[in-house]
Structure 1
Amino acid sequence: MNPVLQAALATWEWRPSVLAVTFLAAAIYAAGWIGLRRQGRIRLAAWWRLAAYLLGLALLLAALLSFIDVYGALLLFMHMVQHVLLLMLVPVLLLWANPFPVLLYGLPVAARRAVIRFLRPEARFRRETRRLTHPGALYALYIGAIVLWHDTGLYNLAQGNGLIHDLEHITFFVAGMLFWWPVMGAAPRIHHPTSLAGRMAVLLLCVPPHVVIGALLSFVENPVYEHYLTVPRLWGMDVMQDQRLAGIIMWIPTGMMYIAGVVILLARHLNQAARRLGSGLDRNGVEAT
């Protein structure tokens, strides 16, 4: 086996708390998915939804337990890869699967009824949740988490304290899930539907903060985070090369992902409009040429 690959595989840290939560989420989803399939509700329990959900959980485990996390303590660019996974790729995959109905169906009946009771239109919990999770507030939380945890003092503190580092990861994942929730249109749909223009705008507004942080890391002449001056260097990469690569990841690929999201939203909208137009023509007995 390739020595680099062997070393990467050997660095996996099987943390019981992370494994327990992840496997519980997988088990509840699997139970709900199988139950819905048996009920013939194929649209909610499609194979592609199962694949997206499980891939999201797999990437979550990779971000938190694999060499990505271990090397993130030694290489800034690897830490940025971890942030991209927790803030973007994992939440998008999980929410693309629209997991809430499936997870709900996977719960015991008593727990399912309790959740439904909390989410009824007249329920106070639903009203307060809707008020606290306005899309504008979720955008502020998302960008605020990114800016806050890239502050030099807090970043260095997190690298030296395991509990604070775990809090950073939890903050990124929760902020990512909340931000992408209305953008993806996933259930539970307790807000008024965000317009296409609104969803596109909020994605585009995510680009400038990433550009600023990425440019700062790429173009400053001195190391931004003292932590990386105190750890061994890997792969012949010095501190500034590592920092510039981290800045490029924060700047270009991340920004392109938001722009890709805008393109996908627009393409889906045009496709749905074409379908509605086509069905309207069919109902009127008009053949398109």
Structure 2
Amino acid sequence: MQITLRAIWAFISRPVVATVLHGAAIWIWHVPALFEAALQQGFLHYAQHASLLGTGLLFWWVLLPRPGREHACGNAVMHLFFTSLHTGLLGVLLVVSPKLWYPANAVGSDLWGLSPLEDQQLAGLIMWIPAGLIYGGAALLSVAFWIQTSSRRHQAPRSCASSNPHRFTSVFTGRCCQASFFSQLRYGLGNDGGSFMARCMSPLACSRRRT
């Protein structure tokens, strides 16, 4: 049972799957017949909100940048861009449609001084522009996180040498070693050179030699 649940979670937590599930929930529940049925039947109403909330949480949990998932930032930007496109398209359809999609949902629009069609157009506009800005902002956040973590990885090896010309990074351990390199060239490696190499291969940082 545990293995089955882990396999299911591993599958649905893939960025592609999470994006498709979230997009499918949005479009399916905006089909007029299903939307109207959800307004009339309590079970469908709860199912509608549960599926939209569940797939939305899954979508953002999978795609938002966090430590340990730097390599997935590029894919996250692509999925966020795709989601902004299809949700924006749905919003545009609601804005430009001359027909009221959800007549049963038009109750109360007059409280805001709007006709039912204007209320639908306003909802589509909100889905199109403000929601699109949220997806775009999340994509920019992912790009910034990606660039920041990448620059840190590239600067780490150089920071050792930039602080001191006699410091260098061991190719074996990736750690900073500090030694009198010119004295090694002056006297030759010999026996002392062997201990010098051993220190650089050690997980401990090399101490500075005095010549």
- With the shorter chain as reference, the TM-score category is 0.5 to 0.7
User: How far, CA to CA, are the matches of 1:147 and 1:267 in structure 2?
Assistant: 30
User: How far, CA to CA, are the matches of 1:273 and 1:194 in structure 2?
Assistant: 9
User: How far, CA to CA, are the matches of 1:244 and 1:229 in structure 2?
Assistant: 12
Q: Which residue of 2 aligns with 1:233?
A: 110
Unaligned 5+ segments in structure 2 are 165-211
Contact 2:109–2:115 (CA under 8 A) maintained in structure 1: no
User: How far, CA to CA, are the matches of 1:180 and 1:276 in structure 2?
Assistant: 26
Shift of 1:207: 1.7
Using the size of structure 2 for normalisation, the TM-score is 0.68
Cα shift readout 1:184-235 (whole Å, capped 9, x = no counterpart): 2569x9xx98632211111111022212211111111121111134556212
Q: Which residue of 2 aligns with 1:206?
A: 83
User: How far, CA to CA, are the matches of 2:71 and 2:145 in structure 1?
Assistant: 15
Go from structure 1 to structure 2 and tell me whether the alpha carbon gap of 1:236 and 1:264 turns closer, same or farther (over 3 Å shift): same
Go from structure 1 to structure 2 and tell me whether the alpha carbon gap of 1:272 and 1:284 turns closer, same or farther (over 3 Å shift): same
Go from structure 1 to structure 2 and tell me whether the alpha carbon gap of 1:166 and 1:125 turns closer, same or farther (over 3 Å shift): closer
Q: Which residue of 1 aligns with 2:150?
A: 273
User: How far, CA to CA, are the matches of 1:256 and 1:133 in structure 2?
Assistant: 24
Contact 2:96–2:121 (CA under 8 A) maintained in structure 1: yes
Using the size of structure 1 for normalisation, the TM-score is 0.51
- Give the paired residue count: 164
Q: Where in structure 2 are the equivalents of 1:1-289 lying within 5 Å?
A: 118=2, 123-184=3-64, 195-229=72-106, 233-286=110-163
Supply the RMSD in Å over aligned alpha carbons. 2.7
User: How far, CA to CA, are the matches of 1:153 and 1:235 in structure 2?
Assistant: 26
Q: Give the partner amino acid of 2:17.
A: A
SS of residue paired to 1:142: helix
User: How far, CA to CA, are the matches of 1:186 and 1:197 in structure 2?
Assistant: 13
Q: Percent identity of the aligned residues?
A: 24
Shift of 1:182: 1.9
Q: Give the partner amino acid of 1:174.
A: G
Contact 1:182–1:194 (CA under 8 A) maintained in structure 2: no
